[in-house]
């Protein structure tokens, strides 16, 4: 699939495809009795929408679910805040692999930034920890 270069062709295709999508969405609503919202903007910025029961109802439902999910996430403890003794062996192995992967990614990104900064003669970077400060040691 590639962009249609001719502007008139693009407008015609948009019009045909938009009406085709409308038919498919209407069919899906009829077959499944679903709450559906479809919003499309043309190249000129004109909105085309369809909603069952309405765009607003579906959007409000979606936003409400997002809010509920966000609240649920905020009330659940984060895995790194859970005491270690509450994890089983498999979970500990998975956490170890995750932390190792995170550490490697962090060091790789830090090395990239350090290499870029070294060309501008930046001062050495220090890692600050509760036990004091010490120069960063980079490993590959």
Higher-scoring residue by pLDDT: 19, 72: 19
Give start and end residues of each alpha helix (H) in the chain.
Answer: 7-32, 55-75, 89-118
Domain edges within the chain: 7-75, 79-135
pLDDT value for 140: 47
Q: Average pLDDT of the chain? A: 80
What are the tokens at 24? 């498919």
* pTM for the whole structure: 0.41
Maximum Cα interatomic distance, the chain, rounded to a whole number of Å: 68
**pLDDT digit string (tens) for 21-70?**
888 988 998 899 888 888 888 888 888 888 888 888 888 888 887 777 77
**pLDDT digit string (tens) for 103-122?**
999 998 888 888 877 766 55
Residue 129: count of CB within 10 angstroms of its CB: 8
pLDDT > 70? residue 136 = no
Tell me which CATH homologous superfamily contains domain 7-75: Transcription factor, MADS-box (3.40.1810.10)
| Residue 53, preceding peptide bond in cis (omega within 30° of 0) | yes
- In whole angstroms, what separates CA 55 from the centre of its chain? 23
């Amino acid at each position: 699939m590639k962009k249609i270069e001719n502007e008139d062709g693009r407008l015609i295709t948009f019009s045909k495809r938009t009406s085709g999508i409308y038919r498919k969405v209407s069919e899906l609503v009829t077959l499944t009795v679903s709450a559906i919202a479809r919003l499309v903007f043309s190249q000129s910025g004109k909105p085309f929408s369809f909603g069952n029961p309405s765009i607003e109802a579906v959007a409000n439902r979606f936003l409400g679910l997002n809010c509920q999910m966000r609240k649920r996430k905020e009330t659940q403890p984060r895995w790194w805040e859970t005491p270690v003794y509450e994890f089983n062996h498999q979970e500990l192995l998975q956490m170890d692999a995750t932390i190792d992967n995170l550490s490697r990614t962090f060091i790789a990104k830090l090395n990239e930034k350090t290499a870029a900064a070294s060309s501008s003669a930046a001062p050495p970077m220090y890692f600050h920890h509760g036990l004091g400060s010490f120069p960063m040691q980079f490993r590959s």
